[in-house]
Each structure stands twice: as C-alpha cells, then as structure tokens.
Chain A
Amino acid sequence: MATYTKKQVTDLVHGELDWDSLHRMLSMPKDKERYGQFIEVLQEQVSWKDRIILPLGPHLFIVESAKDQALVTKCTCGHDFGDYRQNWKLNALIHVRDSEEKMSEVYPKLMAPHTEWQVYREYLCPTCGTLHDVEAPTPWYPVIHDFQPDLKTFFDWMEMPAPARA
C-alpha cells in the first residue's frame, strides 16, 4: 500500500500535488493514515485551538471545542454554526436566486434555470461571507441536511479513540 508524506498531503490540499503522485493516489489502494495527515494539515491552517474532527468542506468542519469538548460545526473564520447534530445551514445566511434578474448575475439568461422550476439557494457564513453550499432545488423544498456522520463508528473503523461527546 502506498503512503504519502505530509508535504504531499499539504500539496494535495492546496491543489498543487504533482500529477504522478496524484495519479498514484487515484490508482493505488487507499492509505488509512491520510485522515490523520489531512486533519494535521487543516489544523495548521486555522487560527483557533478547537480540534478538527471531520471536515465538511474546504472551510467547514466538525470540531471538538477546546473549552468543553462540545462537538460543533465551525467555519475557518471561527464562526460557530452550533451542535454538529443539527443542520448547520439553519444557522447560516441565505441568498436565494428566485428571479430572472438574480439568476442573470450568475449565468446568461438562456443558460440559467427558469425560476418557476428551480431556484439557487446560497448558504453563507454570517461572519466572513464564505459560500459553503449552493442548493438547486424547486421552490418550497425543505433545507437539506446533507450529512449526519456516525462519529463513534467512524473512529472505531479508524482504530482511534472517538471524541468524548460523540
């Protein structure tokens, strides 16, 4: 099984990994230690002390609070979206493209959806304005809770101790 250096994983995160290494990552069996390396690289990029448990996106993480070990969803900027079991989107800002005028800001009219059929919902960090997710459902559609991880089982699979409050 192939293994990779921290430098290679750092380059991967930054989109700068050379093609040969990237191809090896794609074609070889997966390296179990990647998770730990990935978390280490991400942890060095944030200014706060909370421990990253699970990345949900380039700027969104489930973290274990350094203060009380609570598991919350957090933005790179430090904005706290609340308990990780709750849908973080409900505590975000939203911009809904539900008219031709708003759609035309992102695509030519003929290359954008017709808003009687479909809208774009942009979920933003209230503190830094990072765009964390874009949903493209019909009007009326409930906000989607994309992912509810089973952290206990995950850490069991990883043969690592689970966060105390998972």
Chain B
Amino acid sequence: MTIMNNIADGSAVGSLLQSGLSLNDHRNLILQRTQESGYYNGLENLELKESDPIAYERIFSKLRAGLVSSREVAKKIAASPIVEQEGELCFTLYNVAGDCIATSTGIIIHVGTMGAAIKYMIQNNWEANPGINPGDMFTNNDCQIGNVHPCDIATIVPIFHDGNLVGWVGGVTHVIDVGAVGPGSMSNGQIQRFGDGVQITCRKTGVNDTPLRDWLHESQRNVRTPKYWILDEKTRIAGCHMIRDLVEETIREEGIEAYEQFAMEVIEDGRRGLTSRIKSMTIPGTYKTVAFVDVPYAHEDVAVPSPFAKVDTIMHAPCEITVKPSATWRLDFEGCSRWGWHTYNANPVAFTSGIWVMMTQSLVPTERINDGARYATEFRLPKGTWTNPDDRRTAHADAWHFLVSSWSSLWRAVSRSYFGRGYLEEVNAGNSNPCNWLQGGGINQEGEIHAVNSFETAACGTGACAVKDGLNHAAAIWNPEGDMGDIEIWELAEPLLYMGRTVKTNSGGYGKYRGGLGFETLRMVWGSADWTMFFMGNGYMNSDWGLMGGYPSATGYRFEAHDTDLLERIKEGMSLPQGKDLNPDMPEFEKHISPDARVKRDKQCITTEAIFENGDLYLNYLRGGPGFGDPLDRELEAVAEDLNQNYLLPEYAEKVYAVVISRDEDGVWHVDEQASIERRLQKRRERIASAVPVHQWMEQERERILDLNASTQVKQMFASSFALSSKFLDEFKSFWDLPEEWELLEESLGIPMFGAKHHMDLSELPDVHPVIMTEQ
C-alpha cells in the first residue's frame, strides 16, 4: 500500500465501502434519514437490540471495557505528568460516518472534536487525496475544524475489514507545549492563530502503522518539549492500535453484519437515552441564564504583538434553554459577544462537545455517551460570536477560559430542574473556574529547553449541592477524574520548589451549603537558567455565581515576588514564606522575604511572560466553587467547623453567616448558639433596611444607562453583543424602557475594534468545506 495510492485518477472514491458509496454520500444519507425520520439513520426499530439483546450488550461491554483499558495501559507510555498523572487523554470509537459509538474515560470533550475531524476528512474528500488505507494514521489539532485548543493532539486511525472501511478510532492527549509564541500549552501572549502553535489539519502522518519520518522530524522541532511530545504520540498510537485490534476481534466473534448494525443502533440508543433522562429528571419550560469572564488586556503586564489587542473586554454568554414537550432540548446562545484578539475563542464543536463533559456528571451519568446525545439536542451558536468566529485568524490556546465560564451558568439552569423535582442530590451550584494556569518556560533544571503547564488545576473546589457542601480541591469540569498531582512529580517536571501547598481559606462561595474550597501552592524558582512565567485566570470578575441564595466563590488574585533574597535567607536559616496566604489583604509572605523585594499583589490574573530568577516566588491559587442557599440557613456547627478547619476567615463568619463567635485558650473557635440566633434575626432586619424595591433600583440603573455611565469594558461587551444580535438589543431596550433612538455603538468608545467590521471566514478559502453541525 502506498501513501498516494489512487490519487491521480480518483478511483479510490467509492472503493472504501461495500455499498460503493463515497464516504461523503454515505454520511449525507445518514443525515437525510435522520432529519426525515427523527431517528438516527431512520432507525425506528433497534433490530439487533430487540432481537438479540444479549449480543447487543456483549458488543457494547466489550468495546467500552476495551476503550477504558486501552486508555489505562496507553497512558503509562507517556512521561508528561499532564497525561500520566492527570489522565488528560481519551480514546473514542466511531462508525464510518464519524459518529461516536463509545468512548473511554478521560477528557471526553474529544468525542466531538475527533468526530469533527473525521467528518472534515469525509466532507473534504480525503478519500481521493491523500487517500484512506489500512495502516494509515492522521493527526489533527486544527481549532478551525473543531479542536478545543492546539495542545490537544489527536491521532486518528481508520479500521478496515476485508478491504472495507468499518470505522475509525481516535486518541487525544493534551501535550505540554505546542510551540506557540509563549511557552506552555495554553499560553496567552499570542492573539492570532499564527502564533498559537503548530496546527495540523487532518494530516496523514503515518502509513503501514508507522509514523512518517518527515512528520517526526518536523513535529518535534516545532515544539519546546520533544521528549514529552514523542511519548505522547506513542501513547496515542498504542491506544488506537489496541482498540483497532479489539474491533477486529469483535467482528471475528460477532460477525461484520452484527457489528455494523450495532455501530448504528447504539447511536440511536444514545439519542433515546438522553430524551429519557430529560423526561425523568428535568422540568419542561424555558430557562434563561448568563455568564461572564474578564479579559483584562489593557494592563502593562499583558504584552501582545498588536496594538489593537490592548483593550479590556468581557466575555458574554447568555443562554436560553428550552426543554420541549418531546423531551428534547434547545440551547440558544443568542447575544454572545464577539470573538476577540486573545486566545480564548472557541469553535462550535468545542462548545457543544464540551457540554457533554458536564452533563455526564449529572444528566447522563452513564458509560453510554456517544453522538446520540448530540442528535437529541439543538444548539444555536450565532456566527461571529466568540464561540463561532467568522474570521480564520482567531487564536484558541486557552479556549477553556471562556468555555468553563460560559458553562457555569448551565449548571444553575439544570439544577433548577433537579431541585424542582426533588432530586436534591443532583443539584450543583456550578463549577469553579478551574484556574490559575501556571505556565512558563525557558531553560530548566536539566539545562534543557522546556515549558511547563501545571495541571494542579485539575483539582479545584466544586459547587455546593442542595444537601451538602461542595468538595474541597477535588475536580475540574474538563476532566472528571480530578487529581492535583503529586508534588514530587511536579518538582521533577518543573524548576519550581514547593514552599507549601494548602487549602485556600475563604475561596468557596458562602451558602447554606458552601462551595468547595480551592487550594494554593507557593512555588520558588530553583535550578533554572533563563526562565519566564505568567498567570492565567479570572480576577476582576467571577464566572461562578451561587444558586438560590448562595454566593459566588471568591475571585482570583495574583501574587509574585522578585529579588526576594530567599536563597540568602535559606543559607542563613532565616524564616521563609511557607505557602499560606491566609488573607491576601493582610500580607504574610512579605514578612519572610527581603523588604526590598518587588511584589505584585493585585487582581491582574492574566499576564504574559515575565522573567523569574531563581529564588523568585509565584503563588498558584486554584479557585473554589460557588455556594447554595441563604448563608443564614447554614448550621451553626458547620460554621464552627469551617473556622476550626481554617476554611473561613472569622471576619466573614460574623459578616456573612451572622454568627457570634469566640476562641478559647486552645485556639478552638466556638459559635454561641443563642446569641447567633438573635444575631441572625437582626441580620434579616438589617437586610430589609438596607435594600430597596427592585423597581426603585431599576429607575436608578436606567438613568445610569441613559448617561452611559459604565466602564469601557462593560460598554464594549454590550456594544459587541448588540451589533451581533438585534434581538438582544431589543430585549435590553425593552427591559430598561429605553427610547427608540437609544443606541450604543462600539465606534463611540474610542478603542480599537479590529475584526468588528472586516473579517474573513475559513469557508472563504478555496476548496475548503467546513463541517457545520449547529444552527448559526
């Protein structure tokens, strides 16, 4: 088999399937039958499942178990702590049309992203050129095809039986560096695709089960961490080949007809599974919700190559969820703000596929996650917004900054359903915004070119439930496994010693049940030669609101210190900062470093590369989750426990929980029950006295709008959404009863607005046919 087999005459087209159809015609027929019938591929009856349920379950169990075990085995090949420690990998099996049959555990957002890559190859006639043959490997990380961000590298392997294509398997790992302008896999110095790191568009990178030499040479020299890169690739290839063997074995045992029937029915089964869960867990109706997060780029510590990116902006993600009488649902993101000159833009597939990561944790907590759920869901992501850019220059390295922030509001919406039906155990006030992302690079302790991206973020605080507190430093929305990683492993991978690692006091949102707390680690640079680091997270805003009276979790802040004299202090046996930044408004670290140290302690939580010398300090603060219910309903014993566990600052026990506290000579906190009951009654009276009727406040707020009294970033956000959505503008004007002639144009704000008027979409490139799977 040669790499360029049959390209010249195009005779390969139609030769891959027994039906003689091209892959594109085959897929279009499935789409047509699905649209006409409402059932995936027109499957009104699940013949295999109904006639031989044991065989159906046997096939599913074998494939699912094989996917999970292949992932577990393959990840031992990797050296990157991101993959080996945090489990940032996933393997998924697809049918011929690129629709997911079953997936492993792990970062299952890639059920959709790898499926989108397969569909792109189908729609853009890879069948003719470069050809699809047994033993081929394709590599993709192109964000304009559907990848979340360039550091998620996918290897895709076609599966054949008797010369016919019978499916695909994809494996993805999150690599530690992808050769972007800034080091680290999710860096943020670049503002366009052209600095976002190497981008590979479904390229044939292997034949006869062997990676091509030009690919190996080229790819390794395009990243800072080639050792990790190549071991990650071996991980993906090994996993894909194990799963291909598994499929071949299954076909031998069950027969090709049964397998192919299964590969269609299981998706219709998945579609029915979601509608069944919607009907059994939710309440029909309309849910409106919204999320925001800050993009503070005007600050001097954000260095970007182009002046038009030096503006403060806000991500805006309103969502209207309609749960229909048919037990299907529609998620409409009308009103989202425009894409921007930063690395937080997202492709529609990243957005829609990612939603299943969170839904598998509540609505569909089943191993039967496949593309069926997508077929039961209508998504609308308007073109030109940050989650469906209309320009091919956009950067996506940290799409998660916007994705996790926007999804936080969906938790609240579905939780209203669970609460209303009495399924209190499923209620989740939200997810923490899993950050900070500690990243950087240079020459490490081994004298090698290196980049780091700490995945301690995989263990942030979770949102509060309606029956219990959120979990402390436990999980991240994008990887349900939740693991902060071993200190010793991070110290091997990074030239950064741990001065301490401890729970982050006061980081969980208050409530009857509080949000889970985050944690903080203080790192000292050690053993590096030339080294930079930067911060990436939320600071001026918080994307994680509370639910039903609960408070949002704490926002982020930044602490870094230079010229600390710590190396001298260590030699002289002097006191050292040891990791606990108890109350950032009353700094403690500064008492244990040089008085002349340069300290940055502020809310600028997005920065670009700054030089760090050995002995400099960096605080990695991982966020907490939001709270549930009125804090005045929190049990007094629980407040005392929070104080004694150092989870809560005494000042806020008094101010927010309205308890009367004292500390005994052993340092143990106590809550005075009777005095606290009286204090809480008084607090209720104070609340009423200090509040105003909503209509009265609305009149004041309306005046502020008429006076255009808001910060530039707030006005830019609204102007950007108004320009993209007349519906959102009309609803805004109607709510505030604004005059017909009222308008807010971005042009009036005196800030650069590159991309607002002039842009060029990917679809305008010659011979490029993007795969569109959402209404736009």
Asked if B290 and A137 make an inter-chain contact with CB atoms under 8 angstroms apart, the answer reads: yes
Residues in A with CB closer than 8 Å to B614 are none
Task: Give complex CA distance A67, B695 in Å.
Answer: 28
Give B486-520 as 1s and 0s: 1 = Cβ < 8 Å from A's Cβ atoms. 00000000000000000000110010110000000
Task: Give complex CA distance A70, B731 in Å.
Answer: 28
Asked if B512 and A149 make an inter-chain contact with CB atoms under 8 angstroms apart, the answer reads: no
Asked if A124 and B688 make an inter-chain contact with CB atoms under 8 angstroms apart, the answer reads: yes
Asked if B602 and A110 make an inter-chain contact with CB atoms under 8 angstroms apart, the answer reads: yes
B684 (CB) vs chain A CBs: closest residue: A129
How distant is B291 from chain A, measured CB to nearest CB, in Å? 9
How distant is B715 from chain A, measured CB to nearest CB, in Å? 8
Q: B292 interface residue, CB < 8 Å from A? A: yes
Residues in A with CB closer than 8 Å to B713 are 116-117
Residues in A with CB closer than 8 Å to B549 are 57-59, 130-134
Given A15-B468, A147-B286, A95 and B687 touching (CB < 8 A)? yes
- Counting chain B CB atoms within 10 Å of each CB, the highest count among A90, A124, A143 belongs to A124
Given A111-B557, A134-B546, A15 and B694 touching (CB < 8 A)? no
Task: Give complex CA distance A67, B323 in Å.
Answer: 31
Question: Which of B391-399, B648-656, B745-753 lines the interface with chain A?
Answer: B648-656
How distant is B420 from chain A, measured CB to nearest CB, in Å? 5
Task: Give complex CA distance A141, B541 in Å.
Answer: 14
Q: A145 interface residue, CB < 8 Å from B? A: yes
Residues in A with CB closer than 8 Å to B441 are none
Asked if A107 and B652 make an inter-chain contact with CB atoms under 8 angstroms apart, the answer reads: yes
Given A94-B691, A112-B554, A139-B704, A56 and B416 touching (CB < 8 A)? yes
Q: Which of B292, B422, B555, B704 contacts A37 (CB 8 A)?
A: B422
Residues in A with CB closer than 8 Å to B731 are 142
Asked if B292 and A118 make an inter-chain contact with CB atoms under 8 angstroms apart, the answer reads: yes
Given A112-B555, A129-B685, A149-B420, A58 and B652 touching (CB < 8 A)? no
Task: Give complex CA distance A83, B364 in Å.
Answer: 33
Residues of A in contact, count (CB < 8 Å): 78
Asked if B422 and A106 make an inter-chain contact with CB atoms under 8 angstroms apart, the answer reads: no
Asked if A55 and B419 make an inter-chain contact with CB atoms under 8 angstroms apart, the answer reads: yes
Asked if A149 and B284 make an inter-chain contact with CB atoms under 8 angstroms apart, the answer reads: yes
Q: A138 interface residue, CB < 8 Å from B? A: yes
Q: Which of B279, B314, B327, B551 contacts A134 (CB 8 A)?
A: B551
Q: B732 interface residue, CB < 8 Å from A? A: yes
Task: Give complex CA distance A109, B691 in Å.
Answer: 22
Asked if A134 and B545 make an inter-chain contact with CB atoms under 8 angstroms apart, the answer reads: yes
Residues in B with CB closer than 8 Å to A156 are 325
Asked if B416 and A147 make an inter-chain contact with CB atoms under 8 angstroms apart, the answer reads: yes
Task: Give complex CA distance A142, B551 in Å.
Answer: 19
Given A22-B425, A37-B422, A138-B314, A117 and B694 touching (CB < 8 A)? no
Task: Give complex CA distance A6, B431 in Å.
Answer: 31
Given A59-B630, A96-B697, A114 and B283 touching (CB < 8 A)? no
Task: Give complex CA distance A129, B705 in Å.
Answer: 29
Residues in B with CB closer than 8 Å to A150 are 283-286, 323, 325
How distant is B407 from chain A, measured CB to nearest CB, in Å? 15
Asked if A134 and B691 make an inter-chain contact with CB atoms under 8 angstroms apart, the answer reads: no
Q: A25 interface residue, CB < 8 Å from B? A: yes
How distant is A95 from chain B, measured CB to nearest CB, in Å? 4
Q: B633 interface residue, CB < 8 Å from A? A: yes
Our count of residue pairs bridging A and B at CB distance below 8 angstroms stands at: 250
Task: Give complex CA distance A139, B603 in Å.
Answer: 19
B548 (CB) vs chain A CBs: closest residue: A57
Task: Give complex CA distance A105, B602 in Å.
Answer: 19
How distant is A103 from chain B, measured CB to nearest CB, in Å? 10
Task: Give complex CA distance A146, B284 in Å.
Answer: 13
How distant is A64 from chain B, measured CB to nearest CB, in Å? 15
Give B565-605 as 1s and 0s: 1 = Cβ < 8 Å from A's Cβ atoms. 00000000000000000011100000000000000011100
Give B692-722 as 1s and 0s: 1 = Cβ < 8 Å from A's Cβ atoms. 1111011001001100001101100110000
Residues of B in contact, count (CB < 8 Å): 92
Residues in B with CB closer than 8 Å to A141 are 290
Given A30-B281, A117-B540, A136 and B552 touching (CB < 8 A)? yes
Asked if B290 and A9 make an inter-chain contact with CB atoms under 8 angstroms apart, the answer reads: no
Task: Give complex CA distance A89, B717 in Å.
Answer: 24
Residues in B with CB closer than 8 Å to A92 are 693-694
Asked if A145 and B288 make an inter-chain contact with CB atoms under 8 angstroms apart, the answer reads: yes
Residues in B with CB closer than 8 Å to A12 are 422, 424-425, 467
A107 (CB) vs chain B CBs: closest residue: B554
Asked if B687 and A30 make an inter-chain contact with CB atoms under 8 angstroms apart, the answer reads: no
How distant is A80 from chain B, measured CB to nearest CB, in Å? 15
Given A94-B694, A112-B554, A154-B283, A55 and B711 touching (CB < 8 A)? no
Asked if B280 and A134 make an inter-chain contact with CB atoms under 8 angstroms apart, the answer reads: no
How distant is B423 from chain A, measured CB to nearest CB, in Å? 6
Q: A3 interface residue, CB < 8 Å from B? A: no
Q: B158 interface residue, CB < 8 Å from A? A: no
Asked if A110 and B285 make an inter-chain contact with CB atoms under 8 angstroms apart, the answer reads: no
Task: Give complex CA distance A130, B168 in Å.
Answer: 55
Asked if A34 and B555 make an inter-chain contact with CB atoms under 8 angstroms apart, the answer reads: no
Residues in A with CB closer than 8 Å to B631 are 131
Residues in B with CB closer than 8 Å to A122 are 687, 691
Task: Give complex CA distance A22, B684 in Å.
Answer: 32
Q: A49 interface residue, CB < 8 Å from B? A: no
Q: A161 interface residue, CB < 8 Å from B? A: no
Asked if B510 and A106 make an inter-chain contact with CB atoms under 8 angstroms apart, the answer reads: yes
Asked if A111 and B507 make an inter-chain contact with CB atoms under 8 angstroms apart, the answer reads: yes
Residues B463-494 near A (CB distance < 8 A)? 466-468
Q: B735 interface residue, CB < 8 Å from A? A: yes
How distant is A87 from chain B, measured CB to nearest CB, in Å? 9
Asked if A30 and B732 make an inter-chain contact with CB atoms under 8 angstroms apart, the answer reads: no
Residues in B with CB closer than 8 Å to A38 are 421-422, 424
Q: Which of B289, B327, B513, B697 contacts A15 (CB 8 A)?
A: B513
Residues B374-428 near A (CB distance < 8 A)? 412-413, 416, 419-426
- Counting chain A CB atoms within 10 Å of each CB, the highest count among B287, B420, B467 belongs to B420
Q: B66 interface residue, CB < 8 Å from A? A: no
Q: Which of A90, A135, A140 contacts B545 (CB 8 A)?
A: A135
Give B313-331 as 1s and 0s: 1 = Cβ < 8 Å from A's Cβ atoms. 0101000000101010000
Asked if B425 and A114 make an inter-chain contact with CB atoms under 8 angstroms apart, the answer reads: no
Residues B658-700 near A (CB distance < 8 A)? 683-685, 687-688, 690-695, 697-698
Q: B127 interface residue, CB < 8 Å from A? A: no
Task: Give complex CA distance A37, B424 in Å.
Answer: 12
Give A147-159 as 1s and 0s: 1 = Cβ < 8 Å from B's Cβ atoms. 1111101101100
Asked if A134 and B550 make an inter-chain contact with CB atoms under 8 angstroms apart, the answer reads: yes
Residues in A with CB closer than 8 Å to B714 are 116-117, 138-140
Residues in B with CB closer than 8 Å to A143 are 694, 698, 735
Residues in B with CB closer than 8 Å to A39 are 422
A22 (CB) vs chain B CBs: closest residue: B425
Residues in A with CB closer than 8 Å to B630 are 58-59, 130-132
Task: Give complex CA distance A113, B705 in Å.
Answer: 21
Given A54-B283, A142-B731, A147-B416, A34 and B540 touching (CB < 8 A)? no
Q: A160 interface residue, CB < 8 Å from B? A: no
Q: B147 interface residue, CB < 8 Å from A? A: no
How distant is A88 from chain B, measured CB to nearest CB, in Å? 10
Residues in B with CB closer than 8 Å to A95 are 687, 690-692
Q: Which of A13, A32, A126 contacts B280 (CB 8 A)?
A: A32
Q: Which of A9, A15, A140, A151 contacts B704 (CB 8 A)?
A: A140
Q: A144 interface residue, CB < 8 Å from B? A: yes
Residues in A with CB closer than 8 Å to B196 are none
Residues in B with CB closer than 8 Å to A109 are 584-585
Asked if A58 and B416 make an inter-chain contact with CB atoms under 8 angstroms apart, the answer reads: no
Asked if B601 and A137 make an inter-chain contact with CB atoms under 8 angstroms apart, the answer reads: no
Given A134-B546, A136-B545, A106 and B288 touching (CB < 8 A)? no
Beyond A94-B691, A113-B542, A138-B710, 13 extra complex contacts between A and B, CB < 8 Å: A25-B423, A35-B422, A92-B693, A93-B687, A107-B652, A108-B649, A110-B584, A110-B602, A111-B507, A113-B541, A131-B630, A140-B705, A150-B283
Would you give 8 A-B contacts (Cβ < 8 Å), ordered by A? A34-B421, A58-B466, A58-B630, A130-B549, A130-B684, A134-B545, A150-B285, A153-B325
